[in-house]
Amino acid sequence: MLRFILKRIFFSIPILFAVTIITFFVLHAAPGDPADILMNPRTKPEDRARIRKNLGLDKPVYIQYIIWLKNLVTKGDMGYSMVDGRPVFATIMERMPATIALMGTSYFLSIILAIPLGIYCAVHRNSVFDHILTFLSFIGLSIPSFWLALIVIYLFVIKYNSIPFISIGPPSFEGMGLLELVKTIFLSMFLPVMVLTVRNIAVWSRYIRSSMVETLQEDYIRTARSLGISENTIIYKYAFKPAILPMITLVGLSLPNVAAGSFVIEYIFAWPGIGRLGIQAMAQRNYPIMMGDILIASVMIIAANLLADIAYGWADPRIRRS
Amino acid sequence: MVDFQRIIRIFGKNKLAVVSFYFIMFLILVAIFGPLISPYSPGDIDYSLMGVPHPPSMKHLMGTDGNGRDILSRVLYGARYTLMVGIGAVLVFITIGTILGAVSGYVGGWIDTIIMRIVDVLLSLPILFFILIIQMLLESSIYNVILVIGLTGWAGTCRLVRGQVLSIREMTYIESARAIGASSSRIIFRHVIPNTMAPIIVMATLGVASTILLESALSFLGYGVQEPNASWGGMLNKAQAFMSIAPWTVFFPGILIVLTVLAFNFMGDGLRDALDPKLKT
């Protein structure tokens, strides 16, 4: 098992390496000078040259890349923000908890809601409820998450004024009592989590449904039925585990989609996570932050795939032997 | 030989898929003949209504936007951009993915290794952010949107086709083609790829759905098709500022995205049942 994990980690290093090369060269192919945001029309030419030299922009792109990579590998240093001069890594890590809270909550809710829905539909296949849910999940799959976000903001915030539109950030928590803190976090997360969760439930419940339907047609289930074991025991004791096993892979593989969704959602709800940081950085042409954001997001995607593989290998010994 | 009658019969049984098919045909007609049926030109400004959006009326069936432009006309023209990006980008990535996947699976060796590592990298990128950054650097034209989505989106197709090819490669008819001296490229294009068509067609149809979602997100964030042209996502970019006073500016373009994506998803589902009986559960 340990060998399997180490091998997978080893194979993800060149992938990350390629991600940094592609992103770095794409960003530096941009027309214009990244240092422009630090200048104004009255900046003297010698100041301009000095600023460019300090930022290392006077060197060829591949040398800049080597310096960037060297700092990353030896010091964990991803450079400095063009706008406020703060370290990129620290800026991203500051925003990380907000993103993880949003995505984690949505993942958790999606899993605990999608599993029972999918199993119910598989067991009561072709019932009215099954047809309705299939139809709804197609709709959930087809709604752009940003539009759904606008609609829920319109309904909950503007029209019925039932939820205050709050954007949270660490400073705004100061001086709050515990109860107030919980209430603020709940209210600020309610709408974005709802929007993110709809799509996941739509995709995952259908997946569990078909996996369960397949499992219930296996020979050993037929044997169990012929022995007169009750349907409930068959479903929850014998079919449940093999049916939800593929979920592990699905949950891991869907991270890029969830991340893309939360990227836009963070922007709309002014959620202080790494997605909004990335969009702000784009508007300001803040290249070091964009570079760092892409790298961290790639690490998260690769780590999710890796964790899914490990969990699957742990749950199903046939995988890790092959 | 492909049994078209059987495919059409099974597809016809799926009412939602059939309705979706007609809806998509209707949309394509709208996209082509939009200029003939639209009441105004999409850039026309009704100066009496300029400044604030006006609600739907007999004169403007879907209302007007903040610049006094007729939303119905803009939606009709928007169908053109949305469908062009959706279908165009899918054609690009299905072509690349199919060719690379077939070569990778059939030839194997170091070519296979290189192609599959590129696939790994593409699948590890946060693709929306990556596309946004490329769009930020490029001049925003509809062709760039199509190319960028197409050139970054082929990894899934490539994996699918490669998997199919690995099993087809061992079939006896491929072996006999090789025995009579057919070249690798002839075998790939004449025998291997045609036999992987069923899952590719399904993937392409579902791909149009997800590409339209992606394009609408890009345009919504302001990095897609640019003003004065507008895809449906782009209309929403401008509309969000007016949402509290003019919800119709947000409603109409959005509901069209939902209906179009839904139609492609239903049609893909129907095609899967009809083309690929093995996949049906």
CATH number of residue A300's parent domain: 1.10.3720.10
Instruction: Measure CB to CB from residue A263 to each of B128, B261, B269 and give the nearest one.
Output: B128
Which residue segments constitute the domains of chain B, with CATH numbers given? 76-274 (1.10.3720.10)
CA distance B278 to chain A (A): 12
Quote the pLDDT of residue A138. Answer: 92
Window 199-258 of A: residues touching B by CB (8 A cutoff) are: 210, 213-214, 256
Interface test with A, best of B117, B124, B220 (most A CBs within 10 A): B124
Window 239-278 of B: residues touching A by CB (8 A cutoff) are: 240, 243-244, 247, 250, 254, 257-258, 261-262, 265-266, 269
Structural domain harbouring A194:
95-321
Residues in chain A closer than 8 A to B224 (CB atoms): none
Distance CA A33, CA A48 (A): 11
Beta carbons of A158 and B244 less than 8 Å apart: yes
Q: What does the pLDDT average to over B232-247?
A: 83
Q: What does the pLDDT average to over A294-315?
A: 84
Calculate what percentage of chain A has a pLDDT beyond 70: 90
Beta carbons of B254 and A293 less than 8 Å apart: no
Q: Is the dihedral of CA A306, A312, A317, A321 positive or negative?
A: negative
**Tens of pLDDT, residues B255-274:** 999 999 999 999 998 888 88
* CB B106 within 8 Å of CB B184: yes
Quote the pLDDT of residue A288. Answer: 86
What Å distances lie between residue B21 and A236, B15, B261, CA to CA? 40, 10, 12
Quote the pLDDT of residue B115. Answer: 92
Residues in chain A closer than 8 A to B120 (CB atoms): 15
Quote the pLDDT of residue B281. Answer: 41
**Tens of pLDDT, residues A46-69:** 777 777 777 777 777 788 888 888
- Per the structure, the count of domains in chain A is 1
Quote the pLDDT of residue A117. Answer: 92
Give me the DSSP letters along B178-202: HHTT--HHHIIIIIIGGGGHHHHHH
Residue A52 lies in a domain: no
Q: What does the pLDDT average to over B18-26?
A: 93
Residue A86 lies in a domain: no
pTM of the model: 0.88
Distance CA B125, CA A281 (A): 18
Beta carbons of B261 and A142 less than 8 Å apart: yes
Residue A131 has pLDDT above 50, yes or no: yes
Quote the pLDDT of residue A319. Answer: 63
Quote the pLDDT of residue B147. Answer: 92
Q: Is A150 on the interface with B (CB under 8 A)?
A: yes
**Tens of pLDDT, residues B164-223:** 888 888 888 888 888 888 888 888 888 888 888 888 888 999 999 999 999 999 889 888
Q: What does the pLDDT average to over A130-144?
A: 91
Q: What is the DSSP letter of B226?
A: P
Which range in A235-239, B53-57, B89-93 is most confidently predicted, on average pLDDT? B89-93
Calculate what percentage of chain A has a pLDDT beyond 90: 10
Which range in A59-63, A93-97, A309-313 is most confidently predicted, on average pLDDT? A93-97
Beta carbons of B258 and A142 less than 8 Å apart: yes
Distance CA A39, CA B277 (A): 63
Quote the pLDDT of residue A321. Answer: 59
Read off the tokens for A19.
């991600």
Quote the pLDDT of residue A164. Answer: 67
Residue B64 backbone dihedrals phi, psi, to 5 degrees: -125, 160
Residue A37 lies in a domain: no
Residue A23 lies in a domain: no
Residue A287 has pLDDT above 80, yes or no: yes
Distance CA B252, CA B244 (A): 15
Of the ranges A281-290, B210-219, B249-258, which one carries the lowest mean pLDDT score?
Answer: A281-290
Mean pLDDT of chain A: 82
This complex has an ipTM of 0.87
Confidence of residue B280 (pLDDT cuts 50, 70, 90): very low
Residue A101 lies in a domain: yes
Residue A42 lies in a domain: no
Quote the pLDDT of residue A32. Answer: 65
Q: Is A4 on the interface with B (CB under 8 A)?
A: no
Confidence of residue B49 (pLDDT cuts 50, 70, 90): low
Residue A62 lies in a domain: no
Q: What does the pLDDT average to over A89-109?
A: 88
| Nearest residue of chain B to residue A134 (CA atoms) | B266
Q: What does the pLDDT average to over A210-217?
A: 86
| Nearest residue of chain A to residue B121 (CA atoms) | A15
Q: Is B189 on the interface with A (CB under 8 A)?
A: no
Q: Is B15 on the interface with A (CB under 8 A)?
A: no
Residues in chain A closer than 8 A to B243 (CB atoms): 150, 153-154, 158
Quote the pLDDT of residue B274. Answer: 83
Beta carbons of A302 and B129 less than 8 Å apart: no
Instruction: Measure CB to CB from residue B124 to each of A15, A153, A210 and give the nearest one.
Output: A15
Angle at CA B164, nearest 5°, toward B163 and B170? 100
CA distance A27 to chain B (A): 8
Residues in chain B closer than 8 A to A165 (CB atoms): none
Residues in chain B closer than 8 A to A294 (CB atoms): 125-126, 129-130, 133
Q: What does the pLDDT average to over B50-57?
A: 72
Q: What does the pLDDT average to over A184-204?
A: 87
Residues 6+ apart with CB under 8 A from B259: B23
Beta carbons of B257 and A147 less than 8 Å apart: yes
Distance CA A225, CA A181 (A): 52
Residue A49 lies in a domain: no
Beta carbons of B240 and A150 less than 8 Å apart: yes
Segment (H or E) for B7 = helix B4-13
Distance CA B77, CA B63 (A): 15
| Nearest residue of chain A to residue B259 (CA atoms) | A142
Q: What does the pLDDT average to over B86-100?
A: 94
Distance CA A194, CA A231 (A): 34
Residue B45 backbone dihedrals phi, psi, to 5 degrees: -110, 125
CA distance A138 to chain B (A): 7
Higher pLDDT, A106 or B69: A106
Residue A246 has pLDDT above 50, yes or no: yes
